[in-house]
Amino acid sequence: MLKIDKVSYKGILKGVGFDVFDNELVVITGPNGSGKSTLAKCIMGINKISSGKILFGKKDISKESITERAKLGVSFAFQQPVKIKGVTVRDLLISAGTNKPEKYLKMVGLVPEEYLERELSNTLSGGELKRIEIASILARDAKLMIFDEPEAGIDLWSFNDLVDVFKKIKKDHTIIIISHQERIIKLADRVLVLENGQVSRECTADEFLEEVK
Ligand SMILES: Nc1ncnc2c1ncn2[C@@H]1O[C@H](COP(=O)(O)OP(=O)(O)OP(=O)(O)O)[C@@H](O)[C@H]1O
Ligand SMILES: [Mg+2]
């Protein structure tokens, strides 16, 4: 599905390489500042890589625009969701391609009636925005879904629901989750550790959790 081949970016990423296979859930973890969000932005095309290659399916997407990558089936939920003035939650979800926005709000634990007509602005709390962003990625149902720290700012109760959502969709979706959370790491088919701009370890969730104990 995805091949990252010796990808470097501005001295932050230094020859990162790994594959993600169809219907696999890969969790990328590692210290703050190691380059995880930067890597996700490189895959989505927000950052233009300095060298290396990114293959999506058999296609080299290294030089494709964000829009083109989105069309091909790459989607990305930001660590810090973007606010868009004048755009409602309903607009966002509809533009993600669903005609059942309610369904996706329920999936992330929000009551549709209370949120559909709200604007994507500062009046939404950080956790609410984050959940709406996750809902929009779920609604997009892209070939590859990338989530950057979906747990960030989400309360414990909703976090449990979120873990269940990932558990449910992982069977038939290809997913990359950047996370520091043990419960998310446990869902992984494979764990990649990014340290200082390089993949320092690739292992199963059990192996990883055993080591950090
Ligand atoms: N546009 C930029 N200009 C300069 N430095 C940047 C830029 N973007 C990221 N960095 C730096 O690159 C490094 C990697 O940042 P990145 O956000 O990818 O880390 P991360 O692994 O996602 O960390 P965290 O776990 O805190 O989210 C950091 O030292 C950061 O300060
Ligand atoms: Mg980050």
Nearest to 93 by CA among 73, 106, 144: 106
Q: What is the mean pLDDT of residues 101-123?
A: 93
Examine the pLDDT at 97 and tell me if it is beyond 80: yes
Which tokens hold the place of 44?
A: 């989505």
Nearest CA to ligand 1 atom 13: 33
Question: Bridge partners of 75?
Answer: 145
Examine the pLDDT at 14 and tell me if it is beyond 90: yes
Q: What is the pLDDT of residue 211?
A: 86
pTM higher than 0.85, yes or no? yes
Looking at all shown ligands, the one closest to residue 39's CA atom is: 1
- The single residue listed with the structure tokens 């989750």 is 177
Distance 79 CA to ligand 1 centre (A): 12
Distance 42 CA to ligand 2 centre (A): 13
Nearest CA to ligand 1 atom 18: 35
Q: What is the pLDDT of residue 156?
A: 82
Which tokens hold the place of 82?
A: 């973007």
pLDDT tens-place string over residues 41-92: 999 999 999 999 999 999 999 999 999 999 999 999 887 777 888 899 999 9
